[in-house]
Amino acid sequence: MQKNIRNFSIIAHIDHGKSTLADRIIQECGAVSDRELSSQMMDTMDIEQERGITIKAQSVRLKYVKDGQEYVLNLIDTPGHVDFSYEVSRSLASSEGALLIVDSTQGVEAQTIANVYIALDNDLELLPVVNKIDLPSADPIRVLEETEEAIGLDCTEHNLISAKTGVGVKDLIDSIVDRIPCPTGDENAPTKALIYDSWFDNYLGALALVRVYDGSIKKGQMLKMMNTKVEHPVLDLMYPHPLKREKTTELETGEIGIVVLGLKTLDGIAVGDTMTDAKNPTSEAIDGFEPAKPFVFAGIYPIETDKFEDLREALTKLQLNDSSISFEPESSAALGSGFRAGFLGMLHMEVIKERLEREFNLDLIATAPTVVYEVLKKDGERIVIQNPSELPEPNYIETIFEPYVKATILVPDEFLGNCIKLLNDKRGVQNKMDYLGKRVLLDYDIPMNEIVMDFYDKLKSTTKGYASFDYEPIGFRPGILQKLDIKVAGEVVDALSIIVPENKALSKGREFIKALKELIPRQLFEVAVQASIGNNIIARETVKSTGKNVTAKCYGGDITRKRKLLEKQKAGKKRMKAIGKVNVPQEAFMAVLKI
């Protein structure tokens, strides 16, 4: 019965208690026994458990009885990190309401505000929930006032809970049933369902997690994907659950479920696509979601060169589970064949690299991350640059445009000076500054290139970890930029090239060279490590040669015998320097990431 279904997501800033609350709601609804219950049940990946963060949004179907009526609750637990906000937007697109969790000690944070805007764009019913009221420093009244002030959300109807102890969770579930609207769909219309997640199972093939908007999906039915035009029979239907999935023969209007299509290949299923009946299709597709636009690009190469095809297959399977990754083949003189992959941020890049290494047993190396630039050439042609090595010669370039982001930063007023200094160093432009009690809300435009590497780490260290940060892309603006090349023994190492602002080129070049000098192993000849812009060398260090004692076998006799051997060695070193090759070790690429 559609009127007894409630589809809702949990949204909040990092560490405000989303996954813990999901555990309590699952426990309260009796979906798992006390013996089966573990903390962060919805975080099923090893990497999520280890890092203590949610990476993938997870769904679960629960049953709850109120006033003698049975309700079906479809709960979606979402990530909090800005790099995974695409997961949040997909989850909210398939919900009617959302629980907005705010920490009673921390208050409103940058990601809280960002997630609220995504929820309001989807016209969701928002339930303000103040968590962690069991802590001694909890101040729920202040937090509710701050929420009203910062977000403009009416908090007269709210829930005070402790997800850790379970206080107030039963009342919260009652509020969900009372206040979140039931789905509105036509049960007699042709099948119309939105794919909002998908993944690959080694036994069942490709699986799609869908929300049914109109009609129903039955086992054995022929379904058609409206975007890719591919048709598949439904082999099986299941309800999502972190431990034990329950099979069903039909998914009705308003329900959420897993469709088993048994596909061995991954083309044909696209997240955001609409499923409909092949014989009696619906007239128009559901508005999916904007495809994710990668901001950060990096080369991913297998350390063993014969693993290139394995890496391609792994990336394709991972793309089914995380549709925000994009990749295309590329080759590098230094690293061989690999892929240029696009990510939503640095944490996303780290997580994907780690998942590839763990889930597919690959040894990988990632190059320095870069952002996308647009170049207007003197002949009027406009080209997109993902890799610094693609940048044309300076005499062909009219203007280089770099991507900018709108950054929202919440910082305690005592650290405001440090924060503004950091933002100015990163070429930020201030739009506005608002005081919320003892905290300041900063709104800045910053070049994407400046926040890609180490901005978040520096922000946390200058504010003792109290600042919170969120960003969204706002387009391209002209910049005064140059390509910085690194030469080892006279040869350019293409994987180490980066694009830098003109006024920072010299300092960056010197930093790079200093770090590389320590990392390149000593050879039998001197190795020059240089940083150059075009043909101009701007910094140089020399890796000293290792000496071999050629006079060891000379004992006694005339000094000229020793001189002769030393002269011979000198000539040999000169010849080696002319033709010698230096292998740049893997650590060097990692060191560049740190700089």
Residues tagged in the binding site annotation for GTP: 15-20, 131-134
Q: Is 298 left (phi over 0), alpha (psi -120 to 50) or beta?
A: beta
User: Which residues fall in the annotated binding site?
Assistant: 15-20, 131-134
Contact (Cβ atoms closer than 8 angstroms) between residue 167 and residue 134: yes
CA pair distance 17, 205, nearest whole angstrom: 33
Question: Whole-angstrom Cα distance, residue 427 to residue 501?
Answer: 10
Among the listed residues 382, 366, 375, the one whose alpha carbon sits nearest the alpha carbon of residue 403: 375
Beta bridge partners of 211: 194, 256
Is-contact 489 582, C-beta < 8 A? yes
Query: ∠ at Cα 281 (278, 285), nearest 5°?
Result: 120
State both tokens at 6. Answer: 């409630």
Cα torsion 420, 425, 428, 433 to 10°: value is: 0
**Assigned token pair, 234:** 């439904």
User: Please, are residues 53 and 14 in contact by the beta-carbon 8 Å criterion?
Assistant: yes
Query: Within 13 Å, how many C-alpha atoms sit on residue 414's CB side?
Result: 4
Q: How far is CA 535 from CA 224, 393, 453, 483, 492, in A?
A: 57, 11, 27, 11, 11
Angle between helices 140-151 and 110-121 (to 10 degrees): 50
Pairing of strands 125-131, 159-160: parallel
Residue 268 backbone zone (phi > 0: left; psi -120 to 50: alpha; other: beta): left
228-233-235 Cα angle (round to 5)? 125
What is the C-alpha end-to-end distance of the chain, expressed in Å? 58
Please report, as a single letter, which amino acid is at residue 41.
M
CA–CA gap between residue 318 and residue 338 (Å, rounded):
16
| 277, 278, 282, 287: CA torsion to nearest 10 | 90
DSSP 205-225: EEEEEEEEEES-EETT-EEEE
- Per DSSP, helices labelled H in 443-534 are 448-452, 455-462, 505-519
